[in-house]
């Protein structure tokens, strides 16, 4: 018994920069594609970091849950659902997968919905730049239990040494009355190298779980820089043509990078030649997470 991706949903719509709305749309699209009603989703986990107007309270997950139409009825007999934020920079989606595995194993819900994505807090832009490198987008993974020999293996996590390589904060000394629309992002000069180190360690731990043929293993990684995935592939001995990435034309999708890349590969039927996907994410800490995902016999069957 394992946990597999039943369906995906993305939203890179340009009529709004609200991550609440974009993540809500992605969640609805994942449910529609999977043929799942909102009442069948017992848990929603939001792994996004940068949110509308630097919202602190309430939990953004609750706002996304409302936008997705999940758990809006309060009749006694209605299915129960809840949501929460799980924030760990670029590794958040894989941390959420780890939590979802534990939740689904209890049999307390049919499905867990993971949403992720980021936006500039000003809600006035969607493309990243040198000061704020993250692109606006929403993404969702709808997960379910399966009796088939497929799905996620064990999620491996690694914490690096030393100070954080990326720090994001509202600078109280300069924000004035614009604190809700500003965000400062500082990255160390060697941030890519340090993230690569922890990502490689986590990936090797995940691969050590079994005897995986790297020729049949696709790689999907976080994208702190455009060349990060290729460097990681080189460290692991995976061919660069087995690396699948999201659209980076607007910048780093950050927490949405993994589901965006997986969705694009599935929709284009690019995973049909592979038996496994190695998901690797790294960020901030520096920290990283990695997991091997066994694809269905027909790669597009569960998405």
* pLDDT digit string, tens, across residues 85-124: 999 999 999 999 999 999 999 999 999 999 999 999 999 9
* pLDDT digit string, tens, across residues 68-81: 999 887 666 667 78
Q: Tell me: pLDDT of 301 over 50.
A: no
Instruction: Give 2-149's CATH code, choosing from 3.40.47.10, 3.40.50.1100, 3.40.50.970, 3.40.30.10.
Output: 3.40.47.10
What pLDDT does 298 receive? Answer: 61
Nearest to 261 by CA among 6, 10, 7: 10
Alpha-carbon span 110 to 195, nearest angstrom: 35
Q: Do domains 2-149 and 156-294 have the same CATH topology?
A: yes
The token duo for 89 is 């920079």
- The CATH number assigned to the domain with range 156-294 reads 3.40.47.10
- Residues 228/192, Cβ–Cβ less than 8 Å: yes
* pLDDT digit string, tens, across residues 6-51: 999 999 999 999 999 999 999 999 999 999 999 999 999 999 999 9
* pLDDT digit string, tens, across residues 127-154: 999 889 999 999 999 999 999 999 999 9
Q: Tell me: pLDDT of 302 over 80.
A: no
Which pTM was predicted?
0.94
């Amino acid at each position: 018994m394992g946990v597999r991706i039943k369906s995906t949903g993305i939203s890179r719509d340009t009529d709004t920069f609200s991550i609440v709305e974009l993540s809500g749309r992605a969640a609805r699209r994942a449910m529609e594609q999977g043929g799942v009603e909102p009442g069948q989703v017992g848990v929603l986990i939001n792994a996004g970091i940068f949110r509308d107007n630097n919202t602190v309270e309430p939990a953004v997950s609750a706002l996304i849950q409302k936008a997705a139409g999940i758990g809006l009825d309060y009749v006694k007999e209605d299915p129960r659902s809840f949501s929460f934020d799980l924030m760990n920079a670029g590794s958040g989606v894989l941390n959420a997968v780890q939590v979802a595995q534990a939740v689904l194993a209890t049999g307390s819900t049919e499905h867990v919905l993971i949403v992720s994505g980021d936006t500039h807090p000003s809600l006035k832009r969607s493309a990243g730049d040198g000061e704020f490198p993250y692109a606006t987008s929403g993404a969702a993974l709808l997960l379910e239990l399966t009796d088939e020999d497929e799905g996620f293996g064990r999620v491996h996590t690694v914490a690096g040494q030393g100070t954080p390589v990326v720090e994001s904060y509202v600078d109280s000394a300069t924000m004035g009355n614009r604190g809700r629309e500003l965000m400062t992002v500082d990255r160390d000069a060697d941030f890519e190298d340090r993230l690569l180190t922890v990502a490689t360690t986590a990936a090797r731990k995940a691969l050590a779980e079994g005897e995986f043929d790297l020729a049949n293993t696709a790689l999907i990684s976080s994208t702190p820089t455009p060349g990060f995935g290729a460097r990681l592939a080189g460290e692991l001995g995976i061919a660069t043509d087995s690396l699948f990435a999201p659209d980076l034309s607007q910048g780093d999708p950050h927490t949405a990078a993994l589901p965006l890349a997986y969705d694009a590969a599935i929709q284009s039927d690019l995973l049909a030649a592979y038996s496994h996907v190695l998901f690797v994410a790294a960020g901030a800490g520096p920290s990283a997470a990695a997991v091997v995902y066994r694809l269905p016999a027909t790669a597009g069957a569960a998405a």
